[in-house]
Chain A
Amino acid sequence: MSAAAEGFAAEEVVVRGDSLLRRAWRTLRRDRLAVISFAVIALYVAVTLLGYAGLLPDMQERVGEKYEPPSLSFAKLLGTDIFGRSILYKILAGAKTAMTIGFIVTGISLPIGIGLGALAGYYGGRVDAFVVWLYSVISSVPSILLIVGISYVLEKGITAICIALGVVSWIGLCRLIRGEVIKHRNREYVLAVRLLGAGDVTIIFRHILPNVFHLAIVTASLSILSAIKSEVILTFLGVGIQDGSSWGTMITDATGELVSGIWWPLAGVSGAMFLIMYALNVAGDALRDALDPKLID
């Protein structure tokens, strides 16, 4: 009987999922701004992958004199810094750091948020009380303090930032999923599979979650964005990335340089941040429109 139930469920997911995704794809393709945004994100991802493959130019290399303004050579396209290093190369290294942190943090927070949210919503009672207590406690601590604290314990650096941001950024998603699951758990289709004898795990993961998963996708795209922002801000404040390969570091340096009329480091790094932030925002929005069942018809 359980085998039969599973077969039935699997079939349902395939049919629903397929059509939902296909419909979403059609919607997205029609939106040119969204397509451009996805291309920008893909470009940043490519830079990140190139960085890990060791194919990005060395940001420590001195390519010219100190503080050369932008010129037409590739390395000096965005000018040079105090040591004569290429601003462009530094921005690429910063992009690698930012994207890495964006994805890892989302990778940490998504499973926690979805898992705890689903458990709390489905079981209610003590489980729910515990999860609600947990995220209330965590969110009652000002997150910047918590992050600073964690990064001091774990020694500053990329690992600490990822863990610290991951630990605090699952809360929003958890709340959302919990609410949705509470709505779904007494729906007819859930009652039906339960009558067919499906276990709790099957019900949660094979039946309820696919119906709320579009929320997770949208949240993920925004979570990458907020992780990148947080990394830059933390590094700007001096508790983030220490080796200089961060946009936050570049902004810290630029504050003093701007007084001396050296505008290109700040302009370059602001442009790079603006592009990815804007693209992630537009993409997140487009995904929500495309995936929300209420907006499909």
Chain B
Amino acid sequence: MRRTSIDPRTTLGILLGLLGALTVLAGCGGEEPATPGNGKKIFTDARRSAHKSLDPPRQFDGASAEIIMNVYDTLVEYDYLARPYRLAPGLLESMPEKGPDGRSYTFRLKQGVRFHDDDCFEGGVGRELTADDAIYSIKRFADANVNLKSWVLLAGFVTGLDEFREKTRELGKGVDYDTLEVPGLRKLDDYSFEVEFTRENPLALFPFAMTSMAILPREAVEKYGEDFASHPVGTGPFRIKQFSFRGTMILEKNPNYHGTYPSEGAPGDAEAGLLAAAGQRLPFLDEVHMPLIEEPQPAMLKFKKGELDWIGIDKDNFPNMAYQDEEGRFHLKEEFAEKYHHYAAPRLTAEYFSFNLQDPLVGPNRALRQAIAYAVDTPAFIELILNGRALPLQTIVPQPIAGSERDTGFQYYRRDPEMARKKLAEAGYPNGEGLPELVFEYRAATKDARQGFEFIRNELAEVGIRAKASFNTFSAFLKKLESSNFQIASAGWQADYPDAENFFQLVYGPNRTPGPNSSTFSNEEFDALYERTRYMENGPERFALFAEMAQIMKDEVPLLLRFNSIAFGIYQKDVLNMKRHMLIDKPYKFLDKKAEAMPAAEAPAP
């Protein structure tokens, strides 16, 4: 009788809690399966997080961009099929034409492009897009009261636009843009305008492809005010049928869309069936359903049930579903390969450890940084922690971008414990004696971050270097970086545009903290090389200078380069035209689904 008073809740509660954490996630959701009804082509793709704002210049996060790139258009956009990545005309008839001075470009808009039908227009019918809309949108992008996040990518590029931004800051909200002329933006006629850049600059057109520079109508901004962020009116391939912040966002086809499917592709695209739709009018899908599913496990269960059409494979599911062969190629296991297609493509990212050169320990001691570089085994890290889904970085430039090691042939450090010990002795700490514990800062407190660190700690311990980690929230991590209050930080960079310059600027002296150069590296020789290559066209001359810059980065080790991760995803077999593009995260307008097949015969074969 006494035993009955033992509180079974305590022990049972823990066990149930653990099981609950694993299983309860699978039960939530309850979205209706996206069964294609009445012949409609419906594509279902989960969002991983909720968007921040659908007002183009007010957002700079992936979740918002995913929706905006399908509802709005930009003047130029990335070619869907071409590799390496290059720009193609979006709302323009052709790529902007460079004038004789080398700084002015003429932008010619397509004629007959109409905004989505909306109450903000007369009679509720979308009007035609003109050069005024483009100039208005560029000015609004530069408005200091509107754009707090992405201005830096165009700063200093367009004649007079920086001064315009300063004026808007002085005048405050609600400036009438017509009263403030920008010398570098000139309307030529209703369908063409000229943009004058401050100097000859091959990078100048990239910002015009960002979702935050999407072209939008003044009427909608004026009518909806703050609500414009949840009431987008664009010219894009889709418009919003059902707006939902944390539920299912539904996009429906814009029947008047102006775009067509590209008629040229990269080698192999035709064989892969990617050119079957060449030249056809976009989009092909009738609706895109975007339920919000934050956890990878329930999303995968839904995918396997056929309720999602496309999904990236997370680390935990990877070993069950896929494998890497000896040559490094990825395959789905047989049972999944029968049901799904897959792709593996390197992202435009670089992961590295940033050494704070202001730190009294690692800052002045180059040999110590080199010892650490010799101690870590990046290929083994990729194999064990990332299931092989990354490429070791040889220079700061990730592989898909021109100027990477494919063009320079440069080789970075390889693990060499002997050299590591030698360098450690040279640094003044033979066998690690007298070396204080190093502190690594991480940008998340996740399991992956911790396991990643445990791997590094073991590698370092083998040569006598002790290390501990501090796992931060992302905002706390950024604060430490911005205030140079760290020793070694596990940081990364994702390309804003596909050019090597965007990566080398991470160690350019004048970009020191609070800029993106978090290690505060400053080297005259490097800076001079950077400035020379910055505005150069890609080619052997530029790549040779890149190799020199890579050598300085290898000798000085302001950053310990690690890896360029690979995106691995799977999609249902009836999805057509899928080619993973790292700068078009959600290319819904190019995707198609096979027409609804006849239901499979239910009777077993005789």
Interface residues in chain A, defined as those with a beta carbon under 8 Å from any beta carbon in chain B: 33, 60, 62, 66, 82-83, 155-156, 225-226, 229, 232-233, 238-239, 242-244, 249, 251-253, 255-261, 266, 270, 273-274, 277-278, 281-282, 285, 289
Contacts and interface: CB of A to CB of B under 8 A. Distances in A.
Contacts of B297: 259
A251 B18 contact: yes
Contact of A156 (B316, B446, B457, B471): B471
A270 B451 contact: no
Nearest to A257: B316
Nearest to B457: A60
A81 to B, nearest CB: 9
A209 to B, nearest CB: 25
Secondary structure of the A contact surface, majority rule: helix
Given A83-B458, A285-B6, A278 B447 contact: no
Contacts of B317: 259
A229 B2 contact: no
A60 B471 contact: no
Contacts of B455: 83
Contacts of B468: 242-243
Interface size class of B (residues with CB under 8 A): 35 or more
Interface stretch (B8-16, B203-211, B559-567): B8-16
A229 B446 contact: no
Contacts of A60: 457-458, 461
Contact of B15 (A242, A244, A274): A274
Given A256-B315, A273-B14, A242 B471 contact: yes
B384 interface: yes
Secondary structure of the B contact surface, majority rule: helix
Given A229-B10, A257-B316, A289-B2, A244 B384 contact: no
17 contacts: A60-B457, A83-B455, A156-B471, A232-B14, A239-B445, A242-B468, A243-B468, A244-B450, A255-B21, A255-B447, A256-B316, A259-B317, A277-B11, A277-B14, A281-B6, A281-B7, A281-B10
Interface in B314-335: 315-317, 319-320
Interface in B450-465: 450-451, 454-455, 457-458, 461
Interface string B377-404: 0000000110000000000000000000
B469 interface: yes
Given A60-B461, A259-B317, A259-B320, A266 B18 contact: yes
B42 to A, nearest CB: 29
A82 B451 contact: yes
B572 interface: no
B470 interface: yes
Contact of A252 (B7, B11, B447, B458): B447
B483 interface: no
Contact of B384 (A66, A249, A261, A277): A66
A213 B7 CA distance: 22
Nearest to A247: B14
Nearest to A226: B10
B437 to A, nearest CB: 11
B316 A33 contact: no
Interface in B421-441: none
A244 B447 CA distance: 10
B316 A238 contact: no
Contact of B10 (A225, A232, A258): A225
B22 interface: yes
B305 interface: no
Nearest to A225: B10
B3 interface: yes
A252 B446 CA distance: 9
A249 B471 CA distance: 13
